[in-house]
Amino acid sequence: MKNVIIYASMTGHSKKIAQAISEKLGIEAFNIKDNPKIEGYDMGIFVSGIYSGECKPELIEFAKKLTPANIKSALLVTSSMKEMTPEKLKEALIANQIEVMKDEYTCKGGFLVMGISHPNKQEIDEAVDFVRNHLYQTV
Ligand SMILES: Cc1cc2nc3c(=O)[nH]c(=O)nc-3n(C[C@H](O)[C@H](O)[C@H](O)COP(=O)(O)O)c2cc1C
Residues with CB under 6 A from ligand 1: 9-14, 49-53, 79-82, 109-111
Range of the structural domain that residue 104 is part of: 3-138
How far apart CA 36 and CA 18 sit, in angstroms, is 15
Closest atom of ligand 1 to 13 CA is 25
The identity of residue 132, as a single letter, is R
Give Cβ neighbours of residue 18 (< 8 Å, ≥ 6 apart).
Answer: 5, 7, 9, 29, 47
Nearest Cα to Cα of residue 103 among 138, 57, 66, 55: 138
Give Cβ neighbours of residue 73 (< 8 Å, ≥ 6 apart).
Answer: 42, 43, 44, 98, 99, 100, 101
CA 90–ligand 1 middle distance (angstroms): 18
Percentage helix, strand, coil for the chain under 3-state DSSP, each rounded to 5: 35, 30, 35
What is the model's pLDDT at position 39? 97
Q: How many domains does the chain have?
A: 1
CATH of the domain at 16: 3.40.50.360
Sequential pLDDT tens for the chain (139 residues): 899 999 999 999 999 999 999 999 999 999 999 999 999 999 999 999 999 999 999 999 999 999 999 999 999 999 999 999 999 999 999 999 999 999 999 998 887 766 678 899 999 999 999 999 999 875 4
